[in-house]
């Protein structure tokens, strides 16, 4: 099965050797995205709520390249720098962006490089 790369200047630019997202069959897989301003590459915000909003905007921009929205997300993986401290604030912002049934989700604590949140998605485009 062929892989098609998705790139957009409206989402956070890659900071390493990886694609922003790939289309494989009926699915879109995103790389982990953080709260980087797509124009400047700078971190947006110093709290998890602000950083989560920016991260979701970056991911939504990738999905839009395929005509998808957050409603098409079926799976998310979330890394929080401070899991216990920030989970409630992160989850409140997450709920603002998704409707029931929510995507399945894994949320873990991770040692992140100068950011508080990183998220990746799997979205279904077969509808």
Q: Rounded mean pLDDT of the chain?
A: 95
Q: Which fold has domain 3-124?
A: 60s Ribosomal Protein L30; Chain: A; (3.30.1330)
* Integer Rg of the chain from CA: 14
Q: Where are the domains of the chain?
A: 3-124
- Name the pTM for this structure: 0.95
When pLDDT is averaged across residues 68-96 and rounded to a whole number, the result is 98
CB-CB contact of 60 with 70 (8 Å)? yes
Residue-wise pLDDT tens digits, 51-79: 999 999 999 999 999 999 999 999 999 99
In this prediction, residue 84 carries a pLDDT of 98
Cβ neighbours around 22 below 10 Å, total: 16
CB-CB contact of 10 with 36 (8 Å)? no
pLDDT for residue 126 is more than 90 = no
When pLDDT is averaged across residues 3-19 and rounded to a whole number, the result is 88
């Amino acid at each position: 099965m062929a892989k098609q790369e998705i790139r957009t200047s409206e989402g956070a630019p890659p900071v390493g050797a990886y694609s922003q997202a790939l289309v494989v069959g009926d699915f879109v897989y995103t790389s982990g995205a953080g709260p980087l301003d797509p124009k400047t590459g700078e971190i947006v915000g110093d709290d998890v709520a602000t950083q989560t909003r920016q991260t979701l905007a970056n991911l939504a921009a990738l999905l839009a390249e395929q005509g998808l929205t957050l409603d098409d997300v079926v799976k998310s993986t979330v890394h929080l720098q401070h899991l216990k401290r920030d989970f409630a604030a992160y989850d409140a912002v997450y709920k603002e962006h998704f409707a029931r049934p929510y995507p399945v989700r894994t949320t873990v604590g991770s040692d992140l490089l100068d950011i508080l949140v990183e998220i990746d998605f799997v979205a279904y485009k077969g509808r």
